[in-house]
Amino acid sequence: MTRWYRTPELLLGTRNYNESVDTFAAGLVALEVLAGAPLVPGDTEARQLDLLTRVLGGPEADDDSPNPRSLKDWEAGSATFTEMARRRHRRLLKAVLQQKPRLLANLALQLSPKDACLAPLLVETFIDLVARLVAWDPKKRLTAAEARTHVFFLETMSVEWV
């Protein structure tokens, strides 16, 4: 497995792992596609861990919040997520937007005029999906089946794309 997509536990030398290493890698690849550049291109295992910590936050950034099921959960002031989860999402979003600052404008152009206002929410739900895929604790990572039912996919299926 390429170092850039390795889980923290693999970088720390564990030999006991499961399919959650694949969902972690998928989350990093999704961030890379969105950003247009690798976010954690470490040239050594130590540097890779350092970059993961800077972009994802440390293990304490993992959160037990429930998986949202609709965009209503994302309205301003929603109590669905803890402050720790919000900080982690902001950190991920900042890392992505630093790589591609016109992300929202580009996304809005790809949506139909009636759905263009959903661009910020789609980005936020995407960031939540990725944050759950790249959780430090393998037991807290979404499985592929859980990811398929995340609100990001449910809502993107209902919007009109140009």
Q: What is the CATH number of the domain that holds 119?
A: 1.10.510.10
Domain of residue 115, residue span? 3-59+66-156
Q: What is the pLDDT of residues 10-64, one digit of tens each?
A: 988 888 889 999 999 999 998 888 777 788 899 999 999 888 888 877 776 655 4
How confident is the model at residue 43, as a pLDDT? 93
Domain membership of residue 50 (yes or no) is: yes
Residue whose structure tokens are 């890698």: 25
Does a structural domain hold residue 9? Answer: yes
Dmax (CA) for the chain in angstroms is: 50
Structure tokens at 146: 């859980």
Query: Does 161 fall in a domain?
Result: no
Tell me, what's the pLDDT at 7? 92
Q: pLDDT tens digits for 122-157?
A: 877 888 898 889 988 899 899 999 999 999 888 888
What is the domain count for the chain? 1
162 domain-assigned? no
Higher pLDDT, 68 or 93: 93
Cβ-defined contacts of 26-30 (< 8 Å, 24+): 26/133, 26/144, 26/147, 27/129, 27/130, 27/131, 27/132, 27/133, 27/134, 28/4, 28/134, 29/5, 30/126, 30/129, 30/130, 30/133
